Amino acid sequence: MALAAVVALIAGVLAGTSSASQAAGSLPCDLYASGGTPCVAAHSTTRALYSSYNGSLYQVRRASDSATKNIGVLSAGGYANAATQDSFCTGTACVITVIYDQSGRGNNLTQAPPGGFSGPASGGYDNLANATAAPTLVAGHKAYGVFIAPGTGYRNNHTSGIATGDAAEGMYAVFDGTHVNGGCCFDYGNAETDSHDDGNGTMEAIYFGTSKSWGYGSGNGPWIMADLENGLFSGVNQHLNSGDPTINHRYTTAVVKGGANKWAIRGGNSQSGGLSTFYSGVRPSVSGYNPMKKQGAIILGIGGDNSVSGQGTFYEGVMTSGYPSDATENSVQANIASVGYGNGSGTSGALAPGSRTSLRATTSCCTTDYVTHDDVDTDVVLSPVTSSSSATVKADATWIVRAGLANSACVSFESANKSGQYLRHYNYKLQLAAIDGTSTFSQDATFCPQPGHNGQGYSFQSANYPEKYLRHYDYDVYIAANGGSNSWDSATSWSDDTSWIAAQSWS
Ligand code: AHR
Ligand code: AHR
């Protein structure tokens, strides 16, 4: 670990882990500046990337009245003020409209326009990200990442200071290593200013995912690759470079940098340890990539030509002017690891991991009914429980809160009387099932608490279907969207049916 990072870490420890900001000069863009390769774009919905940054991180827009709100930091150089978003978005849906550039160059990211491909939104624009779909913790503070479902994308085609031609640049991003796919192309970085494929070498972005359409590395992916246009490169060769490993940490740091006939791929675990170099050398052995013809737009979540089939989650990232040294990047990684992405419990009070609770409905029909599992089968239903109910029924309606199996900022519910069995959805219906170790199970059993949609208690967002929330419907329990093709997606009384009191447990 670099000396500066050690000093920052000690300062952080002395200040206490709940400190809302970090030692001056220790944040990623401070470190790139000291290394002589300053940030020319700095994007994050979770924290400041300069120790002096005290502005807005991003903007959200709510569905109820289309009003927008800027989300800032808790203090200069600190973490996102997610509570502002939670109160602004209570009872409605919010999307992320702007991801502000902290570098002062105005390189903000907004809804991507159509290009070689059109997005699904009006006018061929891409969708905007659901603002609550990627909850996380950073230094113990709740924050939200940018959840890119296929069709979602951000872009800036009129930038300032971003590398063009064969000029040198660096970039890193922190992604969710478990939210990936093989579509083209979940990217962050430099792309064409006209949103079209302008030929080999007209872009240079970090790609993260499992696409094997162009290049790939060892194992099954995901891989960090460089999207250089008409090619995702894992090394000097066109297809397989086995030096580029599968990397899928829950929080993954991905680095790509490029200069005159040189480039590199690096990566690591954002929660601990350093960066490894997966490739460092000359430009690919395919014509058109040396010299490069970078155009200097910035993309997030899409390919250079606005291909919109990729998915992933972005927490923070920057682009620099100049080719950063490995040492500078290593100190940036030390800073990322020191902030503790995902560490600790995102929930407290009735939903603190280890506590027991019973989930009571708030709809007027049902205020003495609870989420209960059957004794005879694996069904989960909404059922009345009173002080005179049997001990078995009381235990059937009692849940032990666990840190979310797929996301520790969220929760999972283990049955109080069927140890190792969890509340999970299957075909959108809730059932009780034994933990099976698959990532589908973990996601199906993870729910992210938000303020209750009707102003009471909590609403529990599905970790893998973020538009759906835990809902009772006709005394069964589902994950349900507010309007949709299934009967239980009915918009009638959706807010009430998706709002739950985490009550004192019955057993
Ligand atoms: O290089 C891979 C992809 O190819 C680019 O992102 C896109 O512009 C083109 O379709
Ligand atoms: O409940 C929806 C999906 O149905 C779950 O993710 C999966 O386990 C099943 O296919």
One-letter-per-residue 3-state SS of 90-151 = CCCCEEEEEECCCCCCCCCEEECCCCCCCCCCHHHCCECEECCCCEEEECCEEEECEEECCC
Give the SS3 label for residue 497. helix
The type of residue at 193 is T
Tokens 């601990």 belong to residue? 272
CA–CA dist 29, 47 (Å, integer)? 12
Give the percent of the chain with pLDDT over 70: 95
Per residue in 200-258, pLDDT (tens digit) is 999 999 999 999 999 999 999 999 999 999 999 999 999 999 999 999 999 999 999 99
Q: How far apart are CA 179 and CA 507, in angstroms?
A: 36
Least confident range of 89-93, 100-104, 395-399: 89-93
So which residues are the catalytic ones? 229, 305
Residue 471 structure tokens: 């809902």
Q: Torsion-angle region of residue 301: left (phi > 0), alpha (psi -120 to 50) or beta?
A: left
Please give the distance, rounded to the nearest whole angstrom, from the Cα atom of residue 379 to the centre of ligand 2.
Answer: 15
pLDDT category, 345, cuts 50, 70, 90?
A: low
The 10 Å Cβ neighbour count of residue 287 is: 8
Q: Is the CB–ligand 2 distance for residue 441 below 6 Å?
A: no
Contact 506, 385 (CB under 8 A): yes
Mean pLDDT of 83-103: 95
Percentage of residues in the chain having pLDDT higher than 90 = 90
Question: How far apart are the CA of 151 and the centre of ligand 1, in A?
Answer: 15
Q: How far apart, in whole angstroms, are the C-alpha atoms of residue 471 and residue 480?
A: 6
Give me the residue label for tokens 């590395």. 217
| CB 427 near ligand 2, within 6 Å | yes
Sign of the torsion formed by the C-alpha atoms of 286, 287, 290 and 295 = negative
- Tokens standing for 296? 């200097």
| Ligand positioned closest to the Cα atom of 488 | 2
The predicted model gives 268-280 an average pLDDT of 97
Q: What pLDDT, in 10s, does the model give residues 140-178?
A: 899 999 999 999 999 999 999 999 999 999 999 999 999
Strand partners, 502: 359
- To the nearest whole number, what is the mean pLDDT of the chain? 94
pLDDT recorded at residue 123: 98
Pocket test for ligand 1, best of 213, 230, 299, 309 (most atoms within 8 A of CB): 230
Whether 426 is in the pocket of ligand 2, judged by its Cβ within 6 Å, is yes
Q: What is the pLDDT of residue 13?
A: 36
**Of 265, 305, 310, 303, nearest in space to 283 by CA:** 265
Q: How far is the CA of 278 from the centre of ligand 2 (A)?
A: 35
